[in-house]
């Protein structure tokens, strides 16, 4: 495995594990980190998981990489939407521990360019995780000290972020619908930028 891809679950731990256990869903990740920091190993790290879907990224040598499921480790952080909610300190502690462990198994992962968000490889499909509130600087400082980190920016713009944050004030918010709407908006914006 030569990359790590970070995600948010967009649902609870219980729902995530239920989805992962259903082969018809065709969704899985190697690891899930709950809000309390507990790490769940769902797929063996030497096997492919279904976490990135259609994906593409230009690496540091400008080589286009596709099909990240084939060569990356997927880590899901339990969070309804990382563009709306912070991650817990327990999650960060466990994530940093896990990344350092994976670096001992796969030396290529010691390169800070080898850790990405789902938004960096599938933003063209509206994927926006781990999102605005994920602390990339902290991750790089702890897991890749004394290295120059790449710039990892969230795909979501401040205008779109404000629009979706305002919806949090609603009483009975449907997070599944909110996440689908966000994905659709980002996908439309991406396609407009390609045409314009």
Pairing mode of beta strands 115-117, 3-8: parallel
Q: Note the pLDDT of residue 163.
A: 77
Q: Is 55 exposed, middle or buried (0-12, 13-18, 19+ CB in 10 A)?
A: buried
Q: Note the pLDDT of residue 62.
A: 75
CA 19 and chain centroid, separation: 17
Q: Note the pLDDT of residue 196.
A: 39
Cα three-residue angle 110-53-34, rounded to 5 degrees: 60
Q: Note the pLDDT of residue 195.
A: 36
Domains of the chain plus CATH, in order, are: 3-143 (3.40.80.10)
102: nearest Cα among 75, 140, 79:
75
Q: Which helix (H) or strand (E) element contains residue 96?
A: helix 89-105
Q: What is the maximum span of the chain, computed from C-alpha positions, in angstroms?
A: 48
What is the token pair recorded at 10?
Answer: 């967009």
| Signed CA dihedral, 163, 14, 32, 137: sign only | positive
Q: Which residue stretches of the chain have pLDDT < 50?
A: 192-196
* pLDDT tens digits along 121-140: 988 888 889 999 999 999 99
- Whole-structure pTM value: 0.88
| Omega before residue 74 within 30° of 0, cis | no
């Amino acid at each position: 495995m030569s990359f790590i891809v970070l995600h948010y679950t967009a649902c609870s731990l219980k729902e995530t594990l239920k989805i992962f256990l259903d082969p018809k869903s065709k969704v899985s990740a190697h690891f899930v980190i709950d809000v309390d920091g507990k790490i769940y190993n769902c797929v063996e790290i030497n096997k492919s998981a279904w976490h990135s879907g259609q994906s593409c990224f230009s690496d540091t040598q400008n080589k286009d990489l596709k099909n990240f499921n084939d060569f990356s480790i997927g880590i899901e952080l339990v969070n309804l939407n990382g563009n709306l909610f912070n991650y817990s300190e327990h999650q960060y502690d466990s994530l940093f521990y896990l990344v350092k462990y994976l670096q001992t198994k796969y030396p290529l992962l010691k390169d800070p360019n080898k850790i990405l968000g789902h938004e960096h490889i599938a933003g063209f499909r509206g994927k926006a995780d781990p999102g605005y509130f994920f602390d990339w600087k902290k991750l790089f400082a702890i897991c890749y000290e004394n290295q120059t980190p790449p710039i990892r920016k969230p795909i979501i713009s401040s205008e779109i972020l404000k629009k979706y944050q305002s919806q949090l004030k609603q009483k009975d918010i449907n997070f599944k619908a909110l996440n689908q709407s966000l994905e659709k908006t980002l996908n439309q914006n991406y396609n407009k930028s390609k045409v314009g």
